[in-house]
Amino acid sequence: MGTKAKPVIFVASDSAGDTGEAAVRAAAVQFDPQHVEIRRVPFLHDTSDIDRLIRHVVERSGAIVFTLVLPELRDYLIQECERTGVTYIDLLGPIIRLLEHTLNQEARHEPGMIHRLDEDYFKKVEAVEFAVKYDDGRDFNGVLQADIVLVGVSRTSKTPLSMYLAHKTFKVANVPLVPEIAPPEQLFTVSRNKIVGLRIDPLKLNAIRTERLKALGLPGNATYANTERINKELEFADKIMKRIGCEVIDVSNRAVEETASLIIDLFRSR
């Protein structure tokens, strides 16, 4: 008996298809990702492109998720899906119609608008460059210029958080807290409202650091992952955070995206 072929989800778009693929992948993580094949079909321009897509989908017994903003293409694709019995989901159509009704105006129906080089794009680029420049306490002047300052011991996701928040246009500096090194004075001169402390469970940190050492080909019992050393670092970090009086978030069982969302909500509420 041959191996059963994976079901294929074709992600079709009259632009790059990023939105549709992101939505499908977000849903696919609720299953075994290896059981689903996601195939992007970007930049559909006319009905012949759609005819070609439908043939591929039928051949693979697949389904289509699409983000078409051109009404004539969207209508044609739906027509052909229904004619051939292909299962489909129109991601943007219902939302566009809802907004047209709510705003009482017609949509522009222009593909690719989300990727245009607008002001927000340049802010994002500037924020990413800032995060790289002021990562891991390379230059403490970043503390004074940042929108958000992250502090915490090593392996509390300071760098990934900085980059994630940068893509949300926040300028972020991060400062490691190490017992042997006095924290920069800038942490105590700027407003505590722009500083966020990152706390983590010692057992969780031990596991993360042990895996990190293994990945580097180093023994897992090195001082870096030593329980006594970890507790010393965490106690020191707690003292500094209390002295600053900043907001503290426990990142022990949180994904970077979840922690970032908490930070964004915190700053927007202010």
Local confidence band at 122 (pLDDT 50, 70, 90 cut-offs): confident
Q: Which two tokens stand for residue 152?
A: 């915490």
Q: Of residues 264 and 109, which shows the higher confidence score?
A: 264
Residue 4 has pLDDT above 70, yes or no: no
Alpha-carbon distance of 130 to 123, in angstroms, equals 10
Q: pLDDT tens, 76-111?
A: 999 999 999 999 999 999 998 999 999 999 888 777
At position 227, the amino acid (one-letter code) is T
pLDDT of residue 116: 56
Establish whether 157 is an annotated binding residue: yes
CB 189 within 8 A of CB 145: no
Establish whether 261 is an annotated binding residue: no
User: Could you give the C-alpha distances from 249 to 42, 153, 182, 197, in angstroms and in order?
Assistant: 40, 13, 22, 6
Q: Check residue 125 and give left, alpha or beta (phi > 0: left; psi -120 to 50: alpha).
A: alpha
Q: Is the pTM of this model over 0.75?
A: no
Establish whether 169 is an annotated binding residue: no
Q: Which CATH number fits domain 8-115: 3.40.640, 1.10.260, 3.40.50, 2.60.40?
A: 3.40.50
Establish whether 171 is an annotated binding residue: no
**Is 158 exposed, middle or buried, given 0-12, 13-18 or 19+ CB atoms closer than 10 A?**
buried
pLDDT of residue 1: 44
Alpha-carbon distance of 267 to 126, in angstroms, equals 19
Q: pLDDT tens, 129-152?
A: 999 999 999 999 999 999 999 999
pLDDT of residue 219: 86
Establish whether 159 is an annotated binding residue: yes
Establish whether 152 is an annotated binding residue: yes
Establish whether 259 is an annotated binding residue: no
Q: pLDDT tens, 203-254?
A: 999 999 999 998 888 887 789 999 999 999 999 999 999 999 999 999 999 9
Greatest alpha-carbon pair distance for the chain in Å reads 71
Q: Does domain 119-269 have CATH number 1.10.1660?
A: no
Alpha-carbon distance of 192 to 240, in angstroms, equals 12
Local confidence band at 121 (pLDDT 50, 70, 90 cut-offs): confident
Mean per-residue pLDDT for 244-266? Answer: 95
**What residue spans in the chain does CATH classification 3.40.50 cover?**
8-115, 119-269
pLDDT of residue 31: 84
Establish whether 158 is an annotated binding residue: yes
Q: At what angle do helices 158-166 and 119-133 cross, to 10 degrees?
A: 160
